[in-house]
Every structure is written in C-alpha cells, then in structure tokens.
Amino acid sequence: MFTQIDISLLIRLLIAHLLTDFVLQSDSWVEQRRKNGWYSKHLYLHGIVAGFLAYLLSGLWGALWLPAAVAATHIIIDGIKAGYENDLKSFFADQFGHFAVLLLIWVLVIVPDPEDIKAMVQFFFPGTKLWVIAAAYLIIIWPSSVLINRITEKWRQDISEKEGAEKDKSLEKAGTWIGWLERFLILTFILLQQYAAIGFLVAAKSIFRFSESRKVGEYVLIGTLLSFVIAVIVGLVAGVLLAV
C-alpha cells in the first residue's frame, strides 16, 4: 500500500508545479512565450524554475534526473502550447500534460508493487459509477444547452425583433455560462443529496436575473426552469444508476 511518504511526495510535486505556473510566473513571461515561442528565453527559464522547485520540494537529492525530467517536459509542453490560442482548451490541455508527467515521475520514484498499481487503476477507473457521473455532467452541459436553445429559439427571436437587440444586449455567451454553471451545481447538489442548496441557487438567480422587460423576464424564467428541470431529471436518473 502507498505510505504517507509516497502520498506526501506526490503532493509536494504538485505544489511545486502550482507555484511555478501560478505564483512565480509573471504575465510578461507568458506573453513573451506566446510571442517568441521556442525562441523565448522565458520558456527555458520557466522550465528551469519548474525543475528546480520540483527537486527542492521533493527532497530527493540523489535523483538528479528528476529536475532534468521536469524541466525538459515543462519546456516541451509550454513550447507546444505557445503555438496555440491561449484559451480554455489549451489551458486544460497544458495542465493535464504537466500533471500526467508529474504522476509518471512519482510512479518511477516510488516503484509501486503490483498491488499498488491495481489500487491506482481502481482509483482512476473505479467501474461504471465513474462513467455514470461523467455522462451525467456531459449531458447537463452540452446536449442540454442545445435542447434549451432549440426550445427557446422562437421566443428569443421575438424578443430580438420586437424589443430591440441592443436594449437587452448582454455579455457574450453569458447566458450559456450561467446555464452551464447552474446545471453543474444542481447536479452536484443532487448527487451529494444537498437538496436545500438548490433552493438557495434558485433564489440567487431570481435576484440577479431581474429584468424590466416582461418578455425578457418570461424568456429568462422559461430558460431557467428548463435548465433546472433537465438538471434535476439527469441528477435523479444518475442517482438511481449509482445506487444499483
């Protein structure tokens, strides 16, 4: 079984990465990497910092390959990222790459026995329950958005034509993000069986989405109720499947 020292090592490696990427890295370094790519000195300095911190916090003074591996992979991952748009997808891909490397390095350091490897596999792939939860969150985010958009399309067009698009203009994709977040929270509350928290969410949205226009208010209410109903149904179905 994994010891506290093994778990502590993994946490320390993650802390080293978080310090490197989010504390000790300035916006100017990021911009220089995006601008100059592989020719940016800040790309290599950032990698060296990552390797040094990982080595320092690991306490494995004899493992000189560890800082070299962390620095080299950090440079490669960030160098590849510099060639792409600095958006949410590239952010998650970048962080996933770094975490995967750290997990691999951790496994190489502790050299787990077959039982430990089996426990790791069960942790990351614990059977059908994981896939039920993953499917539930995917459904309430993307397919639900499409469904709600199709149902409310005629009312949205009516508001745009009769009320004036500029009058009720909002932030770009703000409604989409609000819908994603509210369904994510509702599903999470249902899976955790914290049903009372859903009431607070309903109350909070009713305050912040107030509109002087009756049509816009009705449109928002319809969209909100649809969003809530879908999230509740998916949550209840997922709860039944998880209980099997």
Q: Are the CB atoms for 110 and 6 separated by under 8 Å?
A: yes
> What's the pLDDT at 242?
85
Global confidence as pTM: 0.68
pLDDT score, position 50: 95
pLDDT of residue 225: 85
Q: What are the CA-CA distances from residue 68 to residues 47, 49, 54, 128 (Å)?
A: 9, 11, 10, 39
| 157-190 as b/e: b if 16+ CB within 10 A | eebeeeeeeeebeeeeeebeebbbebbebbbbbb
Q: What is the pLDDT of residue 13?
A: 94
Which tokens hold the place of 73? 């992979």
- Cα–Cα distances (Å) from 17 to 13, 72, 92, 129, 224, in that order, read 6, 14, 14, 30, 39
Cα 152 to chain center, whole Å? 28
What pLDDT does residue 163 have?
56
Series of mean pLDDT values for 10-residue runs along the chain (244 residues)? 83 93 86 88 94 93 93 94 83 92 92 73 70 89 86 79 55 76 91 85 65 68 86 92 82
Picking from 231, 134, 146, the residue whose alpha carbon sits closest to that of residue 187 is: 231
Give the tens place of pLDDT for each residue, 24-59.
888 888 888 888 889 999 999 999 999 999 999 998
| Predicted local confidence at residue 244, as pLDDT | 72
Domain ranges across the chain: 4-124, 128-243
Measure the CA–CA gap between 100 and 98, rounded to whole angstroms: 5
Q: Is the dihedral of CA 72, 38, 96, 45 positive or negative?
A: positive
- What pLDDT is stored for residue 234 in this prediction? 94
Confidence (pLDDT) at 67 = 95
* Tokens matching residue 82: 């510099």
For 198-234, the pLDDT digits (tens) are 887 777 666 655 555 667 777 777 888 888 899 999 9
